[in-house]
Structure 1
Amino acid sequence: MNTVVQGNPAAHQPPADVVTEGLQPFLHDVCTTLYAPSLVLSRPAGDIAGGPDGFFHGDRRLLSTLSVRVEGVPVLPVSNTMSSADRTAFRAVLRGVGEHTADPAVTLHRVRSVEPGVLREELEIANAGVKEIRVEVVVGAGSDLASMIDVKSGRTSPALPAELDGDALVWRRDEVTVRLRATSGSPRIDAATGELRFEVALAARQSWSTTLECVVTDDEPLRFPAVARDAVPWSPTALRSADHRMDQFFARSVGDLERLLLADPEHPEDQFLAAGSPWFLTLFGRDSLWAARMLLPLGTELAAGTLRTLARRQGITTDARSDEQPGKILHEVRREGLKLNEGPTLPPVYYGTVDATPLWVILLHDAWRWGLDPEQVRDLLPHAEAALEWLATYGDADGDGLLEYIDVSGLGLANQGWKDSGDSIRWRDGRLAEAPIALCEVQAYGYEAAMGGAALLRAFGRPGAERWEEWAERLKRRFRESFWVEDEAGRYPAVALDAAKRPVDSVTSGFGHLLGTGLLDEEESALLAARLAGPELNSGFGLRTLSTDSTGFNPFGYHIGSIWPHDTAIAVHGLARAGFPAEAASLAGGLVAASTTFEGRLPELFAGHGSAVDSVPAPYPASCRPQAWSAASAVALLQAALGLEADVPAATLRFSPRAAEGIGPLDLTGLRVAGAPLSVRLDAAGRIQVEAPDTLTVHGADRAGDASK
């Protein structure tokens, strides 16, 4: 998936004698409040207290500490509530203050909200007792203005001295200025200690409040600015189903996705999804493309913005350092270079990915089928042609008809598929595969991109369709000849071919990416569906990245046994398209069950122990959350359950709800197709009624109010 800083992550608050400098911090216990490109990471009780915690904006940590305490009084947290992605409330009891029975009498309520470049924290002390109270509320704050890269790498930065500027504490370095003030309450401010002190006297039944406001001024323009609240590129959505877990997962996911949106500064109307919080609030080719593809049932605006944003940055030259090549779609864009623990530094604009380029073509094709304006499609076709040329030249550097990758410079990522950690591609006995590597799922992407590209070229009267269809058929033949291996359970495709073109024989979740792409025949699809449904891969909470019978299996391994929600959602969609609804429903049900452990906000990945071992899934401690393609998985699961496929150029809309077990009846509104509203109702008997544009012929469903068709 995303760029991985290698090394064993460190616990957030380890014993004092344990050295954690230089180790990636854990995130499983942080509370995240988000409005990209700003976010706050804090303790569950609300304080920003070291480690990865902080108020961040544009990959810079503005506040490294922020605490609220009451002098001489224990403040005991009792709850936190995430009302939306950008708003979190914390409630605590002031123990022993104003009490005349065993009941708590005085509480502290903190309500945190984030906007781009602004953090606000509303503080309220409420006295529900019968006695007058007097307390001193102390707000402590500090800043180190550390880069996100340093925080992610576990490198500590010295605290900056605070200045007193009028009624605000101020921290400055280079082009960045951070100001923290209270809007009321007349605190005593001590710049030396970074404290604001409030004297609070409350009679019975009274309350006191103030608002802390932290604002950043940064003279360096952001790589990618925020998106206004009223500019979200999809309509308001709502899901009411028989499975309230699915409802929570869907609602939380869509809310998180709204706050992960960023804009292209060259054309602010073009939006895309940042990959994830906290480390990846930026443009990632693969992540942004997959998330936009999963969200096509919500409309084509996000897909169009993502396609254009990446097309403007499509490779035009050959540069070994950045891995740029003509026609190639980039991997990531950052404010500054990313230093990996093992030494090299990736450049701020890095192209080291083998799959973003075919995924770009696939998204353009699918967006066209969902009704993207033909003129917008036409404008992007030269970029599609350049991407297809990259597949046939740089993507297949040795001319064997398959797509492979190698880090030519030796300074970039060793693995350049979505499983891009250094140990992800390995043999069944645990040995690491040697590059150049040809991944199984990338062959499926290449086939789908070539066939989809051919369809686009033919539909728009451009030459080359036959060439790409022939190229795709050659790839299909080469895949069948080269990838298939066999064990005691039968035939299956290897995860990859290594440098010697030997099939690397581990059993992985990559099977799910092959289904429904056209690369496999019916018999091959059935073999993979059975593997995906088996207990070695299907954990009961989703799909493991590596089979439990592999020597390298580790349930906490980043790509070697953990569960990635987007990976499972891709498999669910592929199974449904390939005609295996029971297997699709089983995997989808496991992912929905897992979502409840994370309050509907599925993380980037979680541990792969499985439901036979754990009643709930264990977090992967360093996982990002929220994360774009994990959140977008909620929409992908619903699309698969409904068997929803659009072909606007052919004026058809199809439904086949065979994988909808457990979630019907349901009502789903806020979808869009061909630029018009689409709503779906599935009843308890499995019948579908839709409200859809009259220009489309609907198959497998009735139009609302007309059940006779």
Structure 2
Amino acid sequence: MVVARPTPADPTPGIAASGGPGDQRAAPPELGPQSIAVLSGPTFMYSDPAGDVPPGSIGGLVHLDTRLLSGWTLTVNGARLLVLRSETIDHYSAQFVLTNPELPGLPPDTVGARRLRYVGDGFHERIELLSYRPKPVRVELRLAVAADFADLFEVKSGVRDRSAYIVRRHAPNGSPLHFRYETDGFAAQTEVHSSLAPDRLEGDDLVWEVQLHACQEWQLDLSVPLPPGPGTVEPVRGDIADVLHRRFPNPVRSWIEDRAVLDSDNPVLERTTRQSRYDLAALRLELEVKGQRVELPGAGLPWFLTVFGRDTLITAYQTLSAGPALARGALLALARLQGTRCDDFTDEEPGRILHEVRFGELTRTGAKPYTPYYGTADATQLWLILLSEYWRWTGDDELVRRLRQQALAALHWVDHYGDRDGDGYVEYATRSPEGLGNQCWRDSPDGVCFSDGRIPVLPIATCELQGYTYDAKLRLAELADGPLAEPTLAARLRDDAARLYRQFNQDFWLDERGGFYAVGLDGDKTPIDSKTSNMGHLLWSGIVPPDRAGAVVRQLMHEDLFSGWGIRTLSREDRSFNALGYHLGTVWPHDNSIAVLGLARYGFRAEANRISLALLDAAEQFGYRLPEALSGYIRDRTMFAVPYPTACSPQAWAAGAPLALVRAMLGLNPVNGRLELDPDVPPELGRITASRVRAFGHHWDLEAVGRTGHVRLAPG
């Protein structure tokens, strides 16, 4: 049954309020731990290892937040096929090698099957059958298709039944199958085309009666067209076999080859950074900004293949050493969507940088506020930080001047809307019935809590928000002294930053438990006394006085916070600690990469390297790809890294983390139009070289081993 379009005060019944990456749901068991996903821009197909999407699972073909296929199950003589091996080939392609189980009249392993799949200008799949029986055999091949047109938020929580409003106009011979769903303000359709007309159509099942002779191969191609839309990247096209064997001009490969390349004596570091390049290519989105196509990173598969504020900005910062294109695209796209008015339902405010954009039915019909949704208290400062860092790497005065009004609007938001009560701190509290309660990076409902487990009252001023604000004001002052040529503004911003520095270090520092920074102040200005990884963000921002840095580092590296794989989000001392809690004890690679940059900033290179090596050890265990988060189990106890149960993979800021770790090891920074190195490379990694590093319109080559290194302009 389809409910009427809700008003903002009447959210869709049965759909939990959902927001950013803090809203997770356990994956149903149908897909299994070896599930396979192929993706391209805002499109993905998520299946079990056999290539099937069982009805009722979280799998399916999702495009622009709408599930176009919710069932896609292949059977031979009524039985599902057995998996011999299945793997992704590239992020957009996969191969499934299968065989038959024992069936009446059909011994096991006598019919081989292969499924080839890719997502590009549409969804494409090839099914191949090969008989190993000496005599001819006849088999029934059935593909059960379903299309529920669920919004991605529903896939995560609970799908309402739209079947009464889904119109089927299947061709008499079954090719194509046509499903269409339409409601007030939203419409979607799915067409399944087949290269061979089925022998019969049973409901939404396509059925072929296949006669196979000895060693005879039978082949069928299927396709589902995809409508264009925001975020769509230049698609892969071609015959399925040519795509999987890479026998065609590939825009993805061209993008990867234009990035900086790292080599190392340590194969784990080399392979991990290479995987990061592939994953960042996979997660790219393309948007048009004033007639110009720009690219920026989406947040992660499967739930977050869209434009985010915080995730996109941090990823772009992490990856600037590999090339400026993602940072430039993020700055322009997010500036284009910057808030211009006050809207309670979407938490929009003038100058505010968005949290998340969505395109599914719940958003389009007004049940969800993601048009965009602006409920984040850090993206605005992070946008200013990225603008500064992009300028430091490129010297692009023109872009800074072009974005002057947006930068001043962001500053106005920080001072007048971010600081809700005029106390000098940026706080958050949603005004939307569908908004996020926590609007910092710890955005799960219990992500910010007292040491005894109590949930603080709103509004909340978390510590890292103040660090970001401090850094953003100093950086904007640098731009005001430079390309913006506004010295009066620069002086005011430095005064603001100095005042925030003094006030913050008075109000957030707690002397108990060895001395540490509270994770925040609650609505009553009471320090929220849990001990968290957010202290690493404070080091990154530079708001920690040098005489307190040692105490902060000791806290971060103590066994209650440092698991052996990285810094946990919450100390084991605190009552809410849970090694499997999303922000209550897990280890996040991006969070650790920010801490590593902060440790290096304050000269704690050995501690920074210890964390970096631990994360590289973890990456090796996951095919050289760091997941979104690791469980916070003690390394010496489990002996191997355990992923967070529903971690996104690939995930953008996890993919960007290794590049930030390398930058910290190299002490790589742009200074006055050239690159400088101050390396402290761990002996375990040996020599590190990088080529085609982009800065100031040139390519640079660099090399470092131990504490020595050099950098030079690349020839040509």
Q: Indicate the residue corresponding to 1:3 in structure 2.
A: 19
Inter-CA distance 408–76: structure 2 relative to 1 (3 Å threshold): closer
Q: Distance in 2 between matches of 1:239 and 1:140?
A: 46
1:32 aligned onto 2:56: no
Q: Indicate the residue corresponding to 1:86 in structure 2.
A: 92
Offset at 1:675?
2.5
In the alignment, structure 2 segments of 5+ residues that lack a partner are 1-17, 236-250
1:637 aligned onto 2:658: no
Aligned partners of 1:433 and 1:504 also within 8 Å: yes
Q: Indicate the residue corresponding to 2:210 in structure 1.
A: 199
> For residue 694 of structure 2, what is the amino acid of its counterpart?
R
Q: Distance in 2 between matches of 1:139 and 1:669?
A: 49
Q: Indicate the residue corresponding to 2:220 in structure 1.
A: 210
Inter-CA distance 633–247: structure 2 relative to 1 (3 Å threshold): same
Aligned partners of 2:674 and 2:695 also within 8 Å: no
Q: Indicate the residue corresponding to 2:161 in structure 1.
A: 157
Inter-CA distance 515–93: structure 2 relative to 1 (3 Å threshold): same
1:49 to 37, 54, 58: 54
Aligned partners of 1:427 and 1:505 also within 8 Å: yes
Q: Aligned with 2:635: secondary structure?
A: coil
Q: Aligned with 1:48: secondary structure?
A: coil
Q: Distance in 1 between matches of 2:277 and 2:608?
A: 22
Inter-CA distance 321–98: structure 2 relative to 1 (3 Å threshold): closer
2:271 to 212, 223, 248: 248
Q: Aligned with 1:77: secondary structure?
A: strand
Aligned partners of 1:337 and 1:346 also within 8 Å: no
Q: Aligned with 2:384: secondary structure?
A: helix
Q: Distance in 2 between matches of 1:121 and 1:442?
A: 47
* TM-score (ref. length: structure 2): 0.87
1:187 to 193, 198, 208: 198
Aligned partners of 1:296 and 1:367 also within 8 Å: yes
1:669 aligned onto 2:691: yes
Q: Indicate the residue corresponding to 1:19 in structure 2.
A: none
Aligned partners of 1:543 and 1:568 also within 8 Å: yes
Q: Distance in 2 between matches of 1:151 and 1:693?
A: 49
1:138 aligned onto 2:142: yes
Q: Aligned with 1:688: secondary structure?
A: strand
Aligned partners of 2:318 and 2:660 also within 8 Å: yes
Deviates more, 1:406-415 or 1:139-148: 406-415
1:414 aligned onto 2:437: yes
Q: Distance in 2 between matches of 1:8 and 1:333?
A: 17
Inter-CA distance 337–69: structure 2 relative to 1 (3 Å threshold): closer
Aligned partners of 1:227 and 1:261 also within 8 Å: no
Q: Indicate the residue corresponding to 1:700 in structure 2.
A: none
> For residue 669 of structure 1, what is the amino acid of its counterpart?
S
Q: Which digits, 9 at most, give the CA deviation of each residue in 1:303-335, with x for residues without a partner?
A: 111111111121222223322222211111112
Aligned partners of 1:80 and 1:89 also within 8 Å: yes
> For residue 113 of structure 1, what is the amino acid of its counterpart?
Y
Offset at 1:637?
1.7
Deviates more, 1:650-659 or 1:239-248: 239-248
1:573 aligned onto 2:597: yes
Map 1:434-445 to 2 at 5 A: 434-445=457-468
Q: Indicate the residue corresponding to 1:627 in structure 2.
A: 651
* TM-score (ref. length: structure 1): 0.88
> For residue 215 of structure 1, what is the amino acid of its counterpart?
P
In the alignment, structure 1 segments of 5+ residues that lack a partner are 15-25, 696-709
Map 1:587-666 to 2 at 5 A: 587-647=611-671, 650-666=672-688
Q: Aligned with 1:335: secondary structure?
A: coil
Q: Aligned with 1:365: secondary structure?
A: helix
Q: Which digits, 9 at most, give the CA deviation of each residue in 1:368-400, with x for residues without a partner?
A: 010152211211122112211222222222222
Q: Which digits, 9 at most, give the CA deviation of each residue in 1:537-587, with x for residues without a partner?
A: 111222211011110001111111122221111111211222111111111
Q: Distance in 2 between matches of 1:620 and 1:687?
A: 38
Deviates more, 1:490-499 or 1:229-238: 229-238
2:371 to 311, 331, 348: 348
Offset at 1:439?
0.8
1:61 aligned onto 2:67: yes
> For residue 206 of structure 2, what is the amino acid of its counterpart?
E
Q: Which digits, 9 at most, give the CA deviation of each residue in 1:510-557, with x for residues without a partner?
A: 011011322122222221122221211111222211011110001111
Aligned partners of 1:90 and 1:109 also within 8 Å: yes
Aligned partners of 1:354 and 1:405 also within 8 Å: yes
Offset at 1:201?
1.0
Q: Indicate the residue corresponding to 1:465 in structure 2.
A: 490
Inter-CA distance 509–389: structure 2 relative to 1 (3 Å threshold): same
Offset at 1:53?
0.4
> For residue 221 of structure 2, what is the amino acid of its counterpart?
T
Inter-CA distance 429–13: structure 2 relative to 1 (3 Å threshold): same
Q: Indicate the residue corresponding to 1:688 in structure 2.
A: 709
Aligned partners of 1:34 and 1:40 also within 8 Å: yes
Offset at 1:11?
5.2
Aligned partners of 1:664 and 1:686 also within 8 Å: no
Q: Distance in 2 between matches of 1:677 and 1:545?
A: 37
Inter-CA distance 686–108: structure 2 relative to 1 (3 Å threshold): farther
The percentage of aligned residue pairs carrying the same residue is 34
Deviates more, 1:162-171 or 1:302-311: 162-171
Q: Indicate the residue corresponding to 1:71 in structure 2.
A: 77
Q: Indicate the residue corresponding to 1:21 in structure 2.
A: none
Q: Aligned with 1:349: secondary structure?
A: coil
Q: Distance in 2 between matches of 1:169 and 1:46?
A: 20
Q: Which digits, 9 at most, give the CA deviation of each residue in 1:288-308, with x for residues without a partner?
A: 111111110122222111111
> For residue 271 of structure 1, what is the amino acid of its counterpart?
E
Number of aligned positions between the proteins: 669
> For residue 233 of structure 2, what is the amino acid of its counterpart?
A
Q: Aligned with 1:426: secondary structure?
A: coil
CA RMSD of aligned residues (A): 2.9
Q: Aligned with 1:516: secondary structure?
A: helix
Inter-CA distance 337–207: structure 2 relative to 1 (3 Å threshold): closer
Map 1:378-393 to 2 at 5 A: 378-393=401-416
1:678 aligned onto 2:700: yes
Q: Distance in 2 between matches of 1:259 and 1:196?
A: 34
Offset at 1:225?
3.1
Q: Distance in 1 between matches of 2:524 and 2:79?
A: 68
Aligned partners of 1:31 and 1:41 also within 8 Å: yes
Offset at 1:694?
8.7
Aligned partners of 2:53 and 2:71 also within 8 Å: yes
Q: Indicate the residue corresponding to 1:177 in structure 2.
A: 189
Q: Distance in 2 between matches of 1:210 and 1:77?
A: 19
Offset at 1:471?
0.2
2:501 to 466, 476, 479: 476
Offset at 1:625?
2.1
Q: Distance in 1 between matches of 2:362 and 2:546?
A: 44
Aligned partners of 1:539 and 1:610 also within 8 Å: yes
Q: Distance in 1 between matches of 2:707 and 2:119?
A: 42
Q: Indicate the residue corresponding to 1:124 in structure 2.
A: 128
Offset at 1:173?
1.7
Q: Distance in 2 between matches of 1:61 and 1:74?
A: 23
Q: Distance in 2 between matches of 1:415 and 1:316?
A: 22
Q: Which digits, 9 at most, give the CA deviation of each residue in 1:395-445, with x for residues without a partner?
A: 222222222222245652111111111111111111111122111111110
Q: Indicate the residue corresponding to 1:314 in structure 2.
A: 338
Q: Distance in 2 between matches of 1:456 and 1:10?
A: 45
Q: Distance in 2 between matches of 1:73 and 1:12?
A: 21
